[in-house]
Structure 1
């Protein structure tokens, strides 16, 4: 049974998000990012991948809010974690609080013991709202950037290691490698279809700028890159090295190959995201990356007796 739509300020209406809304949601999220960061950094492929998350039922787990003119004002989805975005022109009217109530109620309805929200540290009003609702900081996330006014130098790989651009036949091996590597900190493994929707099947996937490392014919490292048209930058969606080959400089080599490939395509900046559970921040700083901005993952424990609009 669906959770009732939240009580919204006068003039706003809510409905579930559909696959046809991807571009609309993308523009809404981009407006939020430009207000906060001065630039957009999300592509439509990520919005589509979120809507296709296993277990997420768009008719029950998503909302898109329009104003009386039909313009999109806010959106939310919830599925173990949640995202809520309110257009800058519609903030301060209670939409964020209403959607937060709805997301918590929906998570509780399906038996969730907790809900997770990621909030930019540069958005003090959103941080204050979460803290007032008993959310607590859990993990820090960083977006890092590598400036490339000149073509980056690329070190030679260790003996016995070959480095080359990504090929179509690498998809399943890359999925296995990355999921194995991420098992050390992620809460669940992603199936190949779920992983592929967010990476190699995403419209922004850039195989020529993605890089793999092999030893004895076996994939031991991969950097999965996206060419994001709205940003004019390269982006590394995932980077992984097999545990047996860490400490040999392979991650640095993968990064540098990808940086150089983007530079040769006219990009002068490449970015990637990481968080405090991976322990990888020091590696990225050593290769010359700098933190552009940070976010904090907040978690709230849900009590069954709480209800919508508490």
Structure 2
């Protein structure tokens, strides 16, 4: 049963994680929620609301785009609060949800949001036989070393500039999500190198809410090295390392209309679509 809208408190983190987990393909954890709340620029008192059965958080990207993150079964008042806060922070209102959340998506449409894009959660079982990674000529790979932080950051930002609606993160913002000890697994950070020059990267870890799964959080190849097999080899290398660790499967998220056709690469590697996330936008007159 819904209660009054209020800012969430520290003791609500577990309940919020459960609301997120209701429709997410992998469960969320209390620590993930706390990390969201401690993100640079996020003000828990002003940027989130909770009523017991739903949760909304509003995050500005700094360029006019604002993401309204909604979970649970939101009341019209909850959606209206999120939209109102978003209007204070930007001019392009974006939101969305997993297609299994039949309460949320119609509510967004009733408030004037329209679907504009889809993203897929893709998955593969690691028990099946797999192709061995064969590195393209001139490219090798190594794992993360202390001092690599800036190199991984810069390669990540560069390789994702060709994605749909790319988000330019500051180093501090990126470090908050990538270098936090609970998610940083140096042996699962892979840097593809052509000599001393980065050609691509894969940032992976065990999924926080489903530790039997390996998560490919980031996979990118620089333009110069695309269409040479580096992306596929990075992916297969990650799968091989997951198997070595005894993980049962692998997951990742991808734009369903990827400009670099990453979705096709993942399908060719044996992954399948396990869930779909619909992205909505409300145009402000």
Provide the TM-score with structure 1 as the length reference: 0.81
Match of 2:172 in 1: 193
Query: What is aligned with 1:61?
Result: 47
Alignment partner, residue 307 of structure 1: none
Q: Aligned-pair distance for 1:163?
A: 1.3
Partner of 2:104: 126
Answer with 150-159 or 194-203: which moved more.
Answer: 150-159
Worse-matched range after superposition: 140-149 or 191-200:
191-200
Counterpart pick for 1:260 among 240, 260, 274: 240
Structure 2 CA distance for aligned equivalents of residues 241 and 48 of structure 1: 31
Match 2:155 to one of 151, 174, 177: 177
Instruction: State whether residues 96 and 105 of structure 2, in contact with CA within 8 Å, keep that contact through their aligned partners in structure 1.
Output: no
1:244 to 224, 227, 232: 224
Cα displacement (A) at 1:222: 0.8
Match of 2:209 among 224, 230, 234: 230
Rg (Cα) greater in structure: 1
Q: Does 1:205 align with 2:187?
A: no
Report the 3-state secondary structure (helix = DSSP H, G, I; strand = E; otherwise coil) of the residue aligned with 1:75.
Answer: strand
Aligned to 2:19: 28
Tell me what 1:12 maps to.
Answer: 3
- Aligned equivalent of 2:194: 215
Cα shift at 1:204:
2.6
Is the CA contact 2:122–2:274 (under 8 Å) kept in the aligned structure 1? yes
Give 1:22 shift.
Answer: 3.8
Q: Deviations over 1:132-185 (max 9, x none)?
A: 222111111000012111463322212221112232332210110110111223
Match of 2:132 in 1: 154
Distance (whole Å) between structure 1 residues aligned to residue 9 and residue 258 of structure 2: 33
Cα RMSD over matched residues? 2.2
* Structure 2 residue 67 is the aligned partner of structure 1 residue 81: yes
Distance in structure 2 (CA, Å) of the matches to 1:117 and 1:82: 5
Partner of 2:146: 168
Secondary structure at the residue paired with 1:248?
coil
Aligned length: 275
**8 Å contact from structure 2 (residues 160, 166) kept in 1:** no
Aligned counterpart in structure 2 of residue 292 of structure 1, from 274, 280, 285: 274
Asked if structure 1 preserves the Cα contact closer than 8 Å seen for 2:193 and 2:200, the reply is: yes
Q: Secondary structure at the match of 1:273?
A: strand
1:104-123 alignment, distance < 5 Å: 104-110=83-89, 112-123=90-101
1:122 offset after TM fit, Å? 2.4
- 1:229/1:21 Cα in 2 relative to 1: closer, same or farther (>3 Å)? same
Which ranges in structure 1 are unaligned for 5 or more consecutive residues?
1-8, 67-72, 304-310
